[in-house]
A and B are shown apart, each in its own frame.
Chain A
């Protein structure tokens, strides 16, 4: 099996810790990581719990393939109830932290309660300790990692931490590991902050040798690596341009949400694209992109490592030295949210804001989208310069974006209001219709008028608006695994369901969903089968994916969400796209939703039918 069979349970209220075996009976039904941790959360907490109360739990979890030689094996997830959405939150991160946790001999950490004072958890193999975090409370992610390496006299410790924003309740605060990899969405960092838990720092020297059939596993992982290498997206496009390969593509098909989704094409897209990151700048002749970088075990290496133009306004003045070095650069989602959605085409300003999101632990999607909403509020006069502390939130104002990132990252001034997220901000200032969210979580970078299936994806995503729950862009735009017409709704409910179930499996393995540009479940299956005890046939995997989806759904229903929450903002349903191939179109969600509910085995009001519950054992 791919497990250490060892769970660390940490009661932060009492400071006590205990070790327990992994529930292998649950692992058989939920595989690992996303699925298995959700099962733990469902069994152990009340879905109605206040996400920021001590009664909520936060689970950090690896998958069975985390830390193995399989490509992209660095993944871990954080599962909890999210404060942004009041729904299930499950955020997945790469980097090196997840594998290190596995190598220290653990599969999962369950955090309960709330520490009476700031602490951090230190794990060195089987030794786990809660240590005083007074010195790092209020510090940034980058400062905290530096401090830990110095304090522990060990540069090899892997650090997952929150910034000051999370401590002050920024509702989309992330947990950042390895300086610029994040469990980014749904505010899992805010939950960590509410528990007075600053960081988890891990050093693992035990390693992992529990793969069931090492020979078969090696053969399966080698074959799967070759599929990634030979594929045009994972073998060439992603290493070269990262996810930013999409910027021009999505803009051309008229699905690039622009200026808070008022438009669907951005005139500045090429200036902030993956291609633009290769253009030498005038000041020092260097391009934005230094090189690509990989997460642990990843043979794709889509990560961007970038620098900011040293003459750019954002890096002038005192205390800005740290932004003049290379760090994690723009990926498509961040470039879109910080750029197109705010109407800003200044690549260096976006890179700076992205650095700050990493440095302070903010989800750049929700942050950028909230700034975009603030800009619309400002433009109609609902938000004034007096209220923003002097910042002119005009679309296209790069200086406003940079200032907003500084304030929100530290949880200061108007940044605290931006930290509420777009729904709460827009409600506060009297225009809830400006909030481009589902279940209070901000949209990612694909306009649902130009890619119809994404409308259903967003409306039904269990963690609020998200592209990573069923990335039908793959089919509707890129033709993976088969091309479907992005402007047609027929067949999309089937597509969305299939992608949702398959992605739930992928997120439960310990491997990265980006492999699915090249892999189907059939490429995962032999790897899972060789690593894990028991039957992991394709049929079983499909069933597990469906079970996970329905378990999350049931959690949300029990938390108080209803079918009324499975919808889109009015703008997408009534304001037609103005330009591009989708001009004149809205999202036809109403045509897709009843078919989707039926396919899911749910009632017309979105509840699991008894036979569905019985079939899946939910």
Chain B
């Protein structure tokens, strides 16, 4: 079964444990500035929104890459960057409509979420269940259940 990261901003408290976990998994350091997932705090509204790559089926980044450094992992469905092939041209960072591919100045390569080979560290680290890793075919299941629970049918 293919899975996707499912994000429920209402549950997010903005603690950044996901950013720490992501950076530790990928960079072997607690370093939110290198996290592939970012939590945005909309201070004046009191909202926190984690945001990362949704792994487009027709991925702009993959198609834009001139050296075919971005390939789809058939097991996870993730678009992965091959660091050895990547030339750091940043065209993918422009092509991505959502801004979730970014350039790492320290390595001269781009970084993006690769779902941690099917075991995403952010979801494991999230203390409130705001980030979960669920069946890609049923990312709406929890919302459906919540609405279904409101259906006023006699027992």
Q: Which residues of A contact B (CB under 8 A)?
A: 67-69, 71, 96, 99, 103, 156, 179, 203-209, 225, 229, 239, 290-299, 301, 303, 305-307, 325-327
Contact B15 A290 (CB under 8 A): no
Instruction: Given A69-B20, A297-B20, A326-B45, verify A207-B30 contact (CB < 8 Å).
Output: yes
Give the residue among B20, B23, B43, B46 with the most A Cβ atoms within 10 A. B46
Instruction: Given A293-B14, A297-B17, A299-B15, verify A103-B46 contact (CB < 8 Å).
Output: no
Contact B32 A103 (CB under 8 A): yes
Assembly CA distance A293 to B125 (angstroms): 17
User: Apart from A96-B16, A299-B15, A326-B43, what are 10 other A-B pairs with CB-CB below 8 Å?
Assistant: A68-B30, A99-B32, A156-B33, A207-B23, A207-B32, A291-B13, A293-B46, A296-B15, A298-B15, A326-B45
Residue of B nearest to A225 (CB): B127
Q: In this assembly, does B48 line the interface, its C-beta being within 8 Å of a C-beta of chain A?
A: yes
Contact B28 A299 (CB under 8 A): no
Contact B16 A69 (CB under 8 A): no
Assembly CA distance A326 to B21 (angstroms): 29
Contact A206 B31 (CB under 8 A): yes
Interface string of B1-38 (1 = CB under 8 A from A): 00000000000011111001101100111111110000
Contact A292 B13 (CB under 8 A): yes
Contact B34 A69 (CB under 8 A): no
Contact A205 B31 (CB under 8 A): yes
Contact A207 B46 (CB under 8 A): no
- Between A and B, 6 residue pairs with Cβ closer than 8 Å are A68-B20, A69-B17, A156-B33, A204-B33, A208-B31, A326-B44
Instruction: Given A229-B127, A291-B46, verify A208-B17 contact (CB < 8 Å).
Output: no
Provide the residues of chain A in CB contact with B106, threshold 8 Å.
205
Residue of A nearest to B128 (CB): A301
Contact A293 B20 (CB under 8 A): no
Q: Which residues of B contact A (CB under 8 A)?
A: 13-17, 20-21, 23-24, 27-34, 43-48, 106, 125, 127-128
User: How many Å from the CB of A573 to the closest CB on chain B?
Assistant: 43
Contact B30 A208 (CB under 8 A): yes
User: How many Å from the CB of A319 to the closest CB on chain B?
Assistant: 16
Residue of B nearest to A204 (CB): B33
Provide the residues of chain A in CB contact with B13, threshold 8 Å.
239, 291-294, 298, 301, 303
Contact A69 B45 (CB under 8 A): no
User: How many Å from the CB of B104 to the closest CB on chain A?
Assistant: 10
B23, B34, B45, B48: which contacts A325 (Cβ < 8 A)? B45
User: How many Å from the CB of A287 to the closest CB on chain B?
Assistant: 12
Residue of A nearest to B10 (CB): A291
Contact B17 A299 (CB under 8 A): yes
